[in-house]
Amino acid sequence: MERGLGRRRQEDRVVTLSRAPVEWLFLDADAPVGPLSSWLADALEHCAWSCHVVVAGSDGEGRLLGTVVDHLEREEVALVYFHLVADGSFGPAPEVADLMDAAARFQDQAYRERTGARLVPLPILEVAPGADPGPALGTAGELAARLAKPSLLLRDAPDEAMIAAAAALGLRLYLGSNTRDSSLLEILTAAHVLDSTMARLDCAGRLLDPCRAHNVIAGGRVFDCGRQWRRGRSRGGLADDRAPVWQPDASLCAGCIADTVAGTGPSMVANQRKREGRELALRTSSALVDTGAHLAAAEAAVTAVELSQTPEERADALIQTALCRLAAGQLEGADRALLEARVNGAPANLVAYHRAHVQVAWRDDIEALDRFSEALDLGPDSLSAEDLHFEMAMSHIRLEEWADARTHLEQAGRPTATIAFNLGVCDVNDGRAERALVHFDRALELGPAEEDLGRIRFFRGFCLKELGRFEEAVEDLRRSIELEEPELAHHNSLGFCLFKLGRHAEATACFERAVAADPGSAIDWANIGVNLERLGEDERAAEMYRRALGMDGRIEFAREGLERVGE
């Protein structure tokens, strides 16, 4: 019954969302274009009226673009954003010129009809490893002047000059995940996850929701989303599935978002979005904590550290990293992060407080007490002095230092059920059952948490047993067994009370449950023997006495019982 931050854990489950119209299609153009073009013609009829078609690879013959144009000519209200990856290392590629020509037709139509253009060109100019990005920058500028919205895909990490030049032209930079063998689909679907998550940044509780509705088509197969594609879980082949729907496995979304955010640092730097990226990483970390995914939360927090621009920001992100690592059991990493946070200006008392919890997790309560004392001496500030006293009391309780624990509990603020309970624990262990009973009654009056009722009832029953009030003790001990998972002490205490009340059959059953919980409990084997003897089952009683003495020859009442019934 320790006070602390409550955590909500999302149980592992598979959640399949309702079907929804697909808004994004990611096409692997390295597959045979004929079947893909035929599939796309049917698929567009089932997509949202406004959709994105992303062609990851060369559409050299223009068949995919032609399919989109045919669709737009048939469907007068349809709108398609056409993302086309093309080689930008040597100036405008032919497929980009074809895209711009097709877009111009719809721009002319929009001008005449005073409407918006229904084919929006979004060329992605890929710069090969080691190539000069200059031609791609020049081409991007020319395309922007023709009402396109180009971007660059870089296989090499951009330098500051490249970042500045792209920013001046308003270009987005896609990065190949710092590896030259990243597939185009991998880069573009990861960017989609990032964009979808960024769009929900201010939507409380929805950060880990599924992405915008999309399908991935690769290797002649259809996949519900990028995560499913990376896992090789297809929905079917092109010939089998010609009406794209979006029905993702939502249980995969948190992991997908976590992986994406953890690797987004370089992209955020390249696109001059460090502040937004840091905010996203911190909020994602907090959302992952709520699901119990502490390791993934720690990795997101590390990204926030990388994107921090001031010592204060870095310190805050390091504290978050430390708390996530602590919850995940990575204690050395948690302590290192806290020490680094202190170097970056985190409040000394706060660092000492969290380092104390690391020591608690290491089961070093002596060191933890030193850290809690340090935090208290430095001045609580944002911390509560009452909370510090409570934490110190809990360390003393674990060290069985009852008087010191009591002193700190008395300084832990106004009485609560938890404080009253732990005062009772101190008194029980000091042999003050009458006084302890008052504290346990007070704990019940103050309204404890439901999960704590069983423990309070057990200790109350134990006190009543010590005071010889066996009938009352039986009632509390039975209730404690109903409320929490019983341990050896539950069965032993209840069995003792029933023995004292002469209810030997019931007592025997209790002690049998005690040895089932701990077969090495010699005293409980002897207790079974005593009760069987009282029931007149001398042969079985002798067997129990022998077993008890075989484990511990010092149990005198077992030796005396064996002399009476066994020999």
Residue 517's domain spans which residues? 499-567
Q: What total number of domains does the chain contain?
A: 2
522-558 pLDDT, tens digit each = 999 999 999 999 999 999 999 999 999 999 999 999 9
Average pLDDT over residues 194-223: 90
Q: In this model, does residue 8 exceed pLDDT 70? A: no
Residue 111 lies in a domain: yes
> Where does a domain end: 207, 231, 249?
249
386-436 pLDDT, tens digit each = 999 999 999 999 999 999 999 999 999 888 999 999 999 999 999 999 999
What CATH code is carried by the domain that includes residue 172? Answer: 3.20.20
Of 198-202, 243-247, 361-365, the one with minimum mean pLDDT is: 243-247
> Where does a domain end: 231, 249, 267?
249
Please report, rounded to a whole number, the percentage of residues in the chain having pLDDT higher than 70.
94
488-530 pLDDT, tens digit each = 999 999 999 999 999 999 999 999 999 999 999 999 999 999 9
Residue 325 lies in a domain: no
68-112 pLDDT, tens digit each = 999 999 999 999 999 999 988 877 788 999 999 999 999 999 999
Could you tell me the two tokens for 91? 């100036």
Residues 324, 236: Cα–Cα separation, whole Å? 39
Among 45, 34, 100, which residue's Cα sits nearest to residue 72?
45
| Residue 72 burial (C-beta neighbours within 10 Å; 0-12, 13-18, 19+) | buried
Residue 159, SS3? Answer: coil
Of 13-17, 77-81, 378-382, 466-470, the one with minimum mean pLDDT is: 13-17
Pairing, β 50-56 against β 24-28: parallel
For residue 181, the model assigns a pLDDT of: 52
Residue 422 lies in a domain: no
107-129 pLDDT, tens digit each = 999 999 999 999 999 999 999 88
> Where does a domain end: 249, 280, 315?
249
For residue 235, the model assigns a pLDDT of: 86
Residue 28's beta-bridge partner residues? 56
Residue 273 lies in a domain: no
For residue 17, the model assigns a pLDDT of: 42
Could you tell me the two tokens for 482? 């109903």
For residue 250, the model assigns a pLDDT of: 79
Residue 104 lies in a domain: yes
Axis crossing angle, helix 385-398 with helix 417-429, rounded to the nearest 10: 30
Residues 85, 99: Cα–Cα separation, whole Å? 11
What CATH code is carried by the domain that includes residue 564? Answer: 1.25.40.10
Reported as a pLDDT band with limits 50, 70 and 90, residue 19 is: low
Residue 109 lies in a domain: yes
450-464 pLDDT, tens digit each = 999 999 999 999 999
Q: In this model, does residue 16 exceed pLDDT 60? A: no
- E-strand ranges in 106-254 read 119-127, 151-154, 172-175, 214-218, 221-223, 236-237, 245-246
Residue 359 lies in a domain: no
Average pLDDT over residues 467-492: 95
248 vs 97, residue with greater confidence: 97
